[in-house]
Every structure is written in structure tokens, then in C-alpha cells.
Structure 1
């Protein structure tokens, strides 16, 4: 049982002071949920709790452990979060204008909001248009394990009665979560995509990856143009910036620096900090880290019945009074794609680097694996075994009990933050951002946030190889480059000391790391990106479709239904004779005949794209021009014309396409329909 009197929580109550409860329905029984409230500054955080006497012992445990139980527990948790979450907000009297789903775990909230509208008299097609217009969905990982898929039989058992309240058949309901690769499963990511109109990944690279992964939702749209966009993650500076840096900024810059987190020019003043002071503070943070690491290592060794001689060897580099040792940190969830053991591909070379008496180096590993991720747990075992080898004892440390306290010490105290994901599987990777704003230098594969953050002066980049390469070849190439960077760049730069005992080049790179990370990768910038590009437009679109008793939602749903029924009969053909060459300043007329069937010219947009081919022979559009409808031909086709004045000299490529168009669409390509000449 959770001891709530030991936590900063209070029961959420209504205006009469009564504690709030909501109910969700499971097969054959209701489940009671209590609402708790926590205050985080000025923000209220609400929590759902099933540990109530009215529930069975099994149901009381639903909200106890996030990664506990089986797939049955998982669907129960997601029903509690999605459906119970909506009911909780209603009980609190809160009416969000924009809803944000992070991963598919809360996607059932789409169904609950649709159920409310259907109960008020709206048909399901109109209801989901209205719900989706005000919903943002963020996908956080390309890893399949991060996308929940439930068997149809499981969905049927939990949603049999619920489907009737939506006015759907079970087949239509299951189609909401069906993807081409999982015909027999209900995919929460697919449901979230169908029930939202604003979608994003969490870095520029991940946005492109997600556009390709989820492109089946918009099958005829080129992946670069489909509705999937990106907002790069950021971290909360006041939480993850070491207080020693905060104190220094207060003294040198005044309190105003906290209001300048979006101003890149402002952070040039980091250069004003004297190099020796900067180096000294970095060494002080490392000393505190090594002191904590020493305590942890000693406790680990004694718990494992190690002798004092072994403890002495394991802690020989951890003197808080001798912190001037190059320290590299790797701490995160141990998943196979993060390749925690990439550094060990050449143990002899690594041992030579670690055991150089003139230029010592320390590797610190920490992290946990998902309870059901056996390969991830095996990575931890491999690192543990390496750390016990004679040539690596005391040089490679694997810390147990990874928690937030240790994480904050590591991202502020090490010299180098190592990240070796398998490209392009790293969606973002915020630990490197936390390290960067503390002046720690990143050494990472160019994936996730580092694909945007790396500028050549603020760290080191390992060349990424995509999946077209053999996995063994890719791992070996990137491991060799990693060791090359360590041997020929990182170690020499750190130990290149001036007459005052510090490395000017290292301080220069560390300052670049800090002043590039602070204004670019903070959570304030991230939230502003969401407000401007997602929450604001979603709120406006939701209002537009909901006003006048959902008139817009009904109109859009009816129009889309007509488009999907008639689109297969649409076709295009060129009917002009284009010239071989056009002189500068000359116009030429492009004519296209479009067979629209029962659609009208107002239902579509015909477009000419002008551009060039890149080195991969892929067409890249630079200009877009719309055609005008110009009557009907004897064949029944609609004639479209464009009087084109080529915008640039030289060889130009152009392509012509048609797609559905309606003023109430949230994204011009959300129908997924497009035909090219």
C-alpha cells in the first residue's frame, strides 16, 4: 500500500470538499479510481489510484507498478489512463482546449471523448473529426517495443459493450487500430494517429523516421510531406543545471539569465567567464561525483563480499582530492539499440588507452534494463564482466542503483558524455542535453538531438551508418571511429595543459557545449514550439469544428466520406505540347485533363511542382504553382491550365499532382490521397 501521508499529495476534491472518484468498466466489473493532486510550483498534477477497498486485490494493483504484470495489466493501465483520465478531468470541471497524447499509452482517451459526443447525438465519423482536430500526438521512439499492440480478442473482451456506445461494429472499431504490418492486432499508435490531426516526433531525424514508419496512414503522400512533423525535446534548465553553475551565473550575470533561455546571443557571455575559473568549477563538480561514486563502489563491493584489496583496486582512481583524470560517462536505459558495449569491440586497444600512466582515463557506466528486456540485461552483465577483468578493474566502473540523484551527478560531473545508439533508433536522447548545459562535452553518434546540436566546435561526432549496411560492419566501423576519436582527439585535448595546469582547448570546447545547449535544448523552447505549432492550432481547429453544434465536424466528415468513395475514379493526363526549351522571360501553358467523376473542381487542388533532382536522383521541389479550372472537355474531363513563368534559369524538373482540398482540413494532406501525372 502506498503511504500517501509520506508524499506531497492531497486528495482531489469537488467544490463541496468531497473526495473525487471516477469509475471505468472492465469485463464483468467496475473499477473505482481515486484522484490525487500534487502541486509542482504553480502547476497541478493529477494522479489516478486504483488501490481502494472497493476494488479486488488484482485491481488495486493496477496503478501500483508501471512495468509490472502482463499484457492484461497493460491494457488495464491504458484504460485507466485514457478513459479514466478523461473522466477525471470532467469530474474536476476541467475542459482542455487542446489534448496532447504522448505515445499511444493514453490513446483510449480519443474513444472516450468520441463516446461523449456520440452520446450527445453526433455520429461517430463526425465525432472523431471533432476530437482529432483538437488533439496532438507525439511518438517518442522508433523501437517496436514502444508501440503497444493488443490482440483483437483482448480488445473485444474489454470493449464489447463500449463499442455499442460508439455506434460502431466491432470490425469498424478494430480498424481504428489496424496497420498493414499488424492485421491481427490493435495498435495504439495507429489509434492515436487516426484520432489526432497534429503529429510529431521528438527530433528532426526522428520526425523523418516517424514520417516513414507511419506513412501507411497517408498512403499516397510522399513521406517528406505527410502530416508528421517534429519538435525536438528539451530539458528543464533549473532542474538539471548544477547549482554551482546557477550560483556563478547569478554572480556574473545577475538573476536575469533565467529569462534569457531563448536568446542565443545572450549566452555568448559564457566566454566572459575566465578559463581558469571555468576549469576549476568543472573539476569541482567532478570531484563531488567521484566522491559519490567511491561511496557507491565501496558499498557494492562489500555487499558482494569483496576483500579490501579488491576494493582498493576498484577505487584507486576515485580520490576526491585527485580529480584531474579524464572521466567518461555512459548512463541510460540499457536497450540493445543503444549499444552500451560498442566501446569493448577492441578490448586490447581500450585497455591500452585506459592504462596509460601519463594520461589516465575512467569509464563510468550506470543504468537499468526493462524487466522484460533480457538482451538489455545481458548488456549489463557483459559490462560487469569487463569491469572485473584485471586490466579494467578500477578503470571501468558499473554503478548499481541508478536513480535521479546519481543521474544529475553524472551529467554535471563527467568530462565526456558518451552515446552510441544504432542510427536512426535514437529518437532524441535528452541525457546529452543535460550534460551539454553543464559544460560536459558530448561524444555521440549523429542521431537524435545531436544531429541538430553538433556544430563542429561543441563536441565530437561518430559518423552514422544507416540500415543499408551490414550490422556487423556498421558496428565495427563505428567502434573503430569511436576509439580513434578517443585516442587522437579526446585524450590529447584533455591533457594538453598550459602553464596554469589546464587545457585551454578543452575549456573552449566545453564553453561551446554549454552555450549551444542552453538556448537550443531547454524545455522552455520546446514548450513554445508546441504552443505555436501544435497547441494553438489544435485549439483553434477544435473550436472551428465544434461551433454551431459541430457543424464543421459534420461537414468535414461527410466530405471525406465522399472523397474516399470517389477517389479511385480520379485520373490525370497532359493534353498540351510542352516546348523543348523556354527562353528567360517566356511563358508556356501547361494543360491537364482531370477525370473527376462526381467530384467538383472545388474538391481538389491541381498543382505543379518545380525543382531539381539531388545526388540520389530524388526530386526536390522548390516552387509550387496552382492550376485553374477552365471548363469541361467533350470527354467529360475538367480542363485545368497553368500559365507558367519558370522561376529559375537552367534545367528544371517539374511534376504535376492532384489531391483533395477543403478549407476545414487541419493539414492539406490529411486525407492521404494524391495522384501524379
Structure 2
């Protein structure tokens, strides 16, 4: 039994650091111990190990020689954590003593830690993972949501239903942070409506650490205890107190742990209150006035905006700001009007709401959008904040988003890339020459690999559809039909994202008769897989989902257009790894970046998208397909009609013919050539390693190197 204890301890050690999330061999190790249980626990190794009977572990260890595999994984993790020759160790060594503090309202690291809703959180999670791989000293700061976002199901009418489940903290890959006395370490934030208390949890993400704040404490009021229950839930008061906790509480958490950051990175405006707390803390430490300290803090602050739509930026009325930030304002020695002016474009307009993005822009010297086009849109949007400055000179640049390759590329595709690009290619993923190896891949090998991935997707979708039908109490016939959904030989198009109106999820479905003819075309069928959630308060988004759900039940579309419920990272991973085409048709220029299509590229899918966000700088005519020309009409309804026509015509005249044009061996040579062009031209550019290196070289080093000697040290 001594040997078994050692195995269990090593497995638990592996489970507690989310490094395993991007290690296919470690994931396989957990899965092979008990595939059924692994699925039941939503791929959560902490819960998995608590539920796995010791006798089964002992039996499986003997059957599969697990001792050596576990030892190997354990050694690899230890070597990774101790690596001193990383890119960051050489190129960003200044951050060793004082790291980057990366604030985000949500982090999408894995489905087993449900503290994310969508793209913003997944982007933040990928940022942490690549910072770990590169060895860039970085601490994430977020909130531990006990109920996460929400679990989605559709009723018999196709209407979205939301349910919230409390996470068992003992089953999450988190660890309570304790003080010298061994008791949970806590912080507090004062406000006119009472003191807000929170404890701190730690998540290890490879070589990076994520700190999560939790307000569910008995010393808080009932309303404050519920603050960290749900992500993006509640009214404006709930939102501002969540952001108070994230920003002010986050800085205090760093101080409580003795961490003095050299850089504040605000991932969206939600965390902008962090700058105010750091100014207050520094004023108290140095005795210097607000104006002087503000410049120092601004110099060390990096702000990334993700929202190209004015309505998407958080704004709060003056009374709510004073109620929650009044104590901070007093510590800054600012009058009410001067403080409110920090969040207003027109500082003297007392009717203007306090905007978190305005605050972030005023208190940062490094601001960026998340694609080239989004940078242009952001400069135009915030021009009134910089009177007298030409639009092209407004200090908002861009760093285009990328995705963490090892998280999103399928294991089967990884093996193919290992064979042709050399083991360790992922370390060189940011260099164009790395991806030239794709040309050595035999067409048949690439095609067969993607067919395997498509088969896995179809099996996944079928199992989900059956479970959905059973939950709704549908008859056996419906369940049998679900088991036969989708066809391995049909062109498979995926669409999965948040169901916001501007993303136009139903654009391709506008003319059911026209689409039906294409779906049923003899010898050239197409099929669609949809997934995504609408915000609980977004009735229009829910109506979009309902419309798709109803179409899936129409005779000629049944099994050929499907909707997978409860979109999360697990569903996203299955879709981007298995579809032939990734469809994205937002109303340009409202997609700031979009990263799902980048994940699809890594698995051989071709993008079919409006020239918005990252696709506007990725598409070259040979590596995917474009909807529209990039020009937009002032009248949205006209633009929608034009984009629909372009979508259908491009699908009918370019996408479908290229996919079904086969040679005598049954291979679509033109399609495969386009797949290879996609790998070659985009994989090296749109990955998170390149993105994080851009942040380090353009922002972090400048911000850290420009620190005043008056800044406090813990």
C-alpha cells in the first residue's frame, strides 16, 4: 500500500496545478483510470481522485503500468516548474522582483473551474497559460464565483432556461491562502454601505498563480455574501461592488501577500478601481499628492479594452459611485466632483455617468484594442477624451489576441505536427519558419486526421443530443433520431459563441427554403452545429436560440442542423477540433477580435467569416473564405441583407465546390491546400505566446522600467 499512497499523492499533486490542462498525456492518464467517471466529473481530476475507489486505482495501476507513467508526468511537471532558461527569464528578468498583476473579471482555464462566461475569460486564461510557458512573472487576480455563470438547457419550446449550481470548493483545484497564524488570509474594503470582507484562494496555473477573492463569509451582509455567487448577475449595485472587490480588494490581496507589482494589467474596464487603490496606497506611503502619484501609477498601468460598442462599457450613477468609493475618494483627498471627473469624458457634466473605461484610459499610459481594426474603432470611439489630438495619434494601440496552442489543438493533430515539425515545435510556434513543416505533411494524412476528429465530434454531439432529448422527456423515436444526427461525409459547419444580437447567429438561416436545397443537395450535403448562451436578461439573444432550436425540429433539417446545449470550454474544444468550417458573421466592426476561429485553424478547419476582428488581418484569399468586402453600409438592415447574400453565394459557389472537388483517390486537393495555407500563414501569428510576448516587449517592460523610486515596496 505504500506504493499506492505514493501514486495517489503524485496524482493529487498533478491535479492541483492546472498545468495538466494542456498536457494530453496527463489528461489521458486520468481518463484511462476510469473513462466513465472522468466524463461524469466534467474532467475534474480533484473530484475524480476523491471518487475513485482505491481498489480500482490499484487494479488499473497494475493493468496499465501506471507507476511509470505517473512518475514520468510528475518529473515533467517538476522540470517545467523549475525551468530557469525560459524566454521570460532572459527577456523579462526585471519582472522577477516585481511581477505583472493581471486583473480580470473572469478566467477561463478549464471547464472544471467554472469562473468564466466566454471569450473574455478564455482569453484571460490563455494569457496566464502562455505567461507560464514563456516564464513571464505574472499574478492573476479574479473572483471565485461559487455558482459560475449559469448552466443552460432548452425547454420543449426551445426557450433558454438557466440554472445555478453551487460548486463544492473542496472539489475545485484551489487552495486557501493562509496567514502566519495558519488562519485563512482575508482582506476588507470599506464603503458607506458597510465593510466588505473577502478571503483569498490560490490556483496554480503552471508557473503562474491566480488569486481569487471570495466574499461568502459570515461577517458580511447577506447581499455581500452573494456578491461572488454569480458572474455577470444582479443589478448595477451588485456590479459596482463586484468591481470594487476585484479592483480595490485585488490590490489589497497583493499587499497582504507581500507582492509588489511592477505592472498593473487591466483586462477590460471592470478592474479599473485597482488604479485608485494603488494611488491611495502610494500616497499614504510617500506623502506625495494625488497628481504626482497618479502619473506614476498611470505609467505602470496597461489597459486592454475589448468592447467596440458604446453600450458595452460599464457606467454608474454618481450616488452609487460615492456610496461604494467614497472611502477611497477620501483617501485620495479628492473632492466629489474631481473624483467623478476621473470617470467622465466631460469632467464638468454632472449628468454624465461614471464610466469604468474612461477611468482606465485616464489612469493608464499603455492602452490597446485587441485587433488592428478594433484599435481604429477604439480611437474613433474615445476621440472626445483627447480633444485636439488627431484620431490617428490618440494613444490607443492594438495587440491582436491569440490562443494558447497546446490547450486548443487536438491530441491527434499534435501527433501529426510532432511528426512533421519536430517534437518541441510548440516552443517555436511564434516563428513563421516553424509552420513551414506543414508542407511536408502528406495530403492523405492531414485529411485522415481531420476525419478522425470529425468522427469524434459527431459522437460527442450525438451523445449530447440524446441526453438533451431524455431530459426533455422526448419519446424513444426522438432519441434514436438524435443517435443518427450528422453525417461524417457531409461538409460540417460550426457556429458557437455568445448569442448577442450583433453576432447574427441566425443569418445563414434567413431563407429556410434556399438553405434546405443546399443541405439536401445530392452528393454535396452540408450540416450545421450551433452552440452558445444568451445572457439571462437578453431576450433578443434567447429568441435567436429559440429560432434555431425550432428549425432543428423541422423534418428536412432534423439531424442536419443541431444545437448543443450548455456551451462551455468542453463543447468549444470539441467543435473547433472537429468541424470543417468555422462560421462567424458579426456585424462589422462590432467583433473586437474573436478567437474561436484561431482555435479552429490549429485543427485544420477553414474560417468563413466577415472581415472583422482578427480575420480582417488574417484572411489573404488563400487561407479561408470571406463574407463581404470589408465595407459596411450606414443602414444595418441593408448591410445584413448584403452579408446574407455574400454568405450564401460564397457558400454555394466557393466553399461547397472546393470541399467536394475530389481527385481519383477521393481527396479534395484544393481544400487541403487551403488548410495548409491557413496553418502556414496564421498559426504563428494568432497564438497566445506571440500575444503575451507583444505585451511584454511593448508594454510590460516599459511600464516596469519607468517606475519612480517613490513607489512603495512591500
**Partner residue in 2 for 1:130:** 296
Does the residue aligned with 1:457 lie in a helix, a strand or coil?
A: coil
Does 1:497 find its partner at 2:662? yes
Instruction: Tell me by how many angstroms 1:140 deviates.
Output: 0.6
**Partner residue in 1 for 2:370:** 202
**Partner residue in 2 for 1:361:** 526
* Alpha-carbon distance change, 100 to 152 in structure 1, aligned in 2, over 3 angstroms: same
Contact 1:361 1:395 in 2 (8 A): yes
**Partner residue in 1 for 2:538:** 373
Does the residue aligned with 2:195 lie in a helix, a strand or coil?
A: strand
Does the residue aligned with 1:136 lie in a helix, a strand or coil?
A: strand
Greater shift, 182-191 or 461-470, is seen at: 461-470
Greater shift, 439-448 or 173-182, is seen at: 173-182
**Partner residue in 2 for 1:293:** 461
Task: Specify which of 410, 432, 438 is matched with residue 264 of structure 1.
Answer: 432
**Partner residue in 1 for 2:329:** 163
CA deviations over 1:83-141 (Å, ceiling 9, x no partner): 00000000111111111011110000111111112323111111211110110101011
Contact 2:366 2:396 in 1 (8 A): yes
Task: Specify which of 9, 12, 33 is matched with residue 177 of structure 2.
Answer: 12
Contact 1:314 1:395 in 2 (8 A): no
**Partner residue in 2 for 1:153:** 319
Instruction: Tell me by how many angstroms 1:456 deviates.
Output: 1.0
Task: Specify which of 527, 547, 551 is matched with residue 709 of structure 2.
Answer: 547
Contact 1:440 1:514 in 2 (8 A): no
Does the residue aligned with 2:494 lie in a helix, a strand or coil?
A: strand
What's the Cα RMSD here? Answer: 1.8
Does the residue aligned with 1:547 lie in a helix, a strand or coil?
A: coil
Does 1:213 find its partner at 2:378? no
Contact 1:107 1:188 in 2 (8 A): yes
Task: Specify which of 210, 223, 246 is matched with residue 45 of structure 1.
Answer: 210
Task: Specify which of 394, 412, 421 is matched with residue 577 of structure 2.
Answer: 412
CA deviations over 1:461-501 (Å, ceiling 9, x no partner): 11256554321111111101100111111111111111111
Alignment of 1:615-630 (within 5 A): none
Instruction: Tell me by how many angstroms 1:406 deviates.
Output: 1.1
Contact 1:367 1:402 in 2 (8 A): yes
Does the residue aligned with 1:64 lie in a helix, a strand or coil?
A: coil
Contact 1:353 1:361 in 2 (8 A): yes
Contact 1:458 1:513 in 2 (8 A): yes
Task: Specify which of 308, 316, 337 is matched with residue 142 of structure 1.
Answer: 308
**Partner residue in 1 for 2:354:** 186
Greater shift, 376-385 or 301-310, is seen at: 301-310
Contact 2:191 2:327 in 1 (8 A): no
**Partner residue in 2 for 1:622:** none
**Partner residue in 1 for 2:36:** none
**Partner residue in 2 for 1:73:** 238
CA deviations over 1:212-245 (Å, ceiling 9, x no partner): 1111221111111111000000000000010111
**In 1, Cα distance between equivalents of 2:476 and 2:521:** 25
Does 1:245 find its partner at 2:407? no
Alignment of 1:225-236 (within 5 A): 225-236=393-404
Instruction: Tell me by how many angstroms 1:19 deviates.
Output: 2.9
Unaligned runs of 5+ in 2: 1-165
Does the residue aligned with 1:26 lie in a helix, a strand or coil?
A: coil
Larger Rg, first or second structure (1 or 2): 1
Instruction: Tell me by how many angstroms 1:403 deviates.
Output: 1.6
Does 1:487 find its partner at 2:652? yes
Q: Which has the higher helix share?
A: 2
**In 1, Cα distance between equivalents of 2:703 and 2:539:** 41
Instruction: Tell me by how many angstroms 1:316 deviates.
Output: 3.8
Contact 1:215 1:226 in 2 (8 A): yes
CA deviations over 1:153-179 (Å, ceiling 9, x no partner): 111222233322211110110010012
Instruction: Tell me by how many angstroms 1:18 deviates.
Output: 4.3
Contact 2:431 2:684 in 1 (8 A): yes
Contact 1:423 1:464 in 2 (8 A): no
TM-score, normalised with respect to structure 2: 0.74
* Alpha-carbon distance change, 132 to 314 in structure 1, aligned in 2, over 3 angstroms: same
Does 1:222 find its partner at 2:390? yes
CA deviations over 1:578-600 (Å, ceiling 9, x no partner): xxxxxxxxxxxxxxxxxxxxxxx
TM-score, normalised with respect to structure 1: 0.78
Alignment of 1:597-636 (within 5 A): none
**In 2, Cα distance between equivalents of 1:419 and 1:36:** 37
Contact 1:67 1:371 in 2 (8 A): no
* Alpha-carbon distance change, 21 to 360 in structure 1, aligned in 2, over 3 angstroms: same
**Partner residue in 2 for 1:85:** 250
**In 2, Cα distance between equivalents of 1:548 and 1:305:** 67
Does 1:471 find its partner at 2:636? yes
Contact 2:177 2:200 in 1 (8 A): yes
**In 1, Cα distance between equivalents of 2:421 and 2:680:** 14
**In 2, Cα distance between equivalents of 1:393 and 1:548:** 67
Instruction: Tell me by how many angstroms 1:28 deviates.
Output: 3.9
Greater shift, 294-303 or 45-54, is seen at: 294-303
Does the residue aligned with 1:29 lie in a helix, a strand or coil?
A: coil
**Partner residue in 2 for 1:340:** 505
Contact 1:345 1:476 in 2 (8 A): no
Instruction: Tell me by how many angstroms 1:199 deviates.
Output: 0.3
Does 1:36 find its partner at 2:201? yes
**Partner residue in 1 for 2:265:** 100
Task: Specify which of 44, 49, 56 is matched with residue 221 of structure 2.
Answer: 56
**In 1, Cα distance between equivalents of 2:174 and 2:605:** 36
**In 2, Cα distance between equivalents of 1:271 and 1:15:** 57
**In 2, Cα distance between equivalents of 1:314 and 1:183:** 55
Contact 1:465 1:474 in 2 (8 A): no
**In 2, Cα distance between equivalents of 1:98 and 1:122:** 20
Does the residue aligned with 1:405 lie in a helix, a strand or coil?
A: helix
Contact 2:494 2:530 in 1 (8 A): yes
Instruction: Tell me by how many angstroms 1:16 deviates.
Output: 5.7
CA deviations over 1:39-96 (Å, ceiling 9, x no partner): 1111111111111122222211111211222111101100000000000000111111
Contact 2:298 2:363 in 1 (8 A): yes
* Alpha-carbon distance change, 356 to 312 in structure 1, aligned in 2, over 3 angstroms: farther
Does the residue aligned with 1:456 lie in a helix, a strand or coil?
A: coil
Greater shift, 146-155 or 386-395, is seen at: 386-395
Instruction: Tell me by how many angstroms 1:393 deviates.
Output: 1.7
Aligned residues: 544
**Partner residue in 2 for 1:459:** 624
Instruction: Tell me by how many angstroms 1:263 deviates.
Output: 1.1
Does 1:350 find its partner at 2:515? yes
Does the residue aligned with 2:592 lie in a helix, a strand or coil?
A: coil
Contact 2:493 2:529 in 1 (8 A): yes
Does the residue aligned with 2:463 lie in a helix, a strand or coil?
A: helix
Instruction: Tell me by how many angstroms 1:312 deviates.
Output: 4.5
* Alpha-carbon distance change, 155 to 549 in structure 1, aligned in 2, over 3 angstroms: closer
Instruction: Tell me by how many angstroms 1:307 deviates.
Output: 3.0
Does 1:174 find its partner at 2:336? no
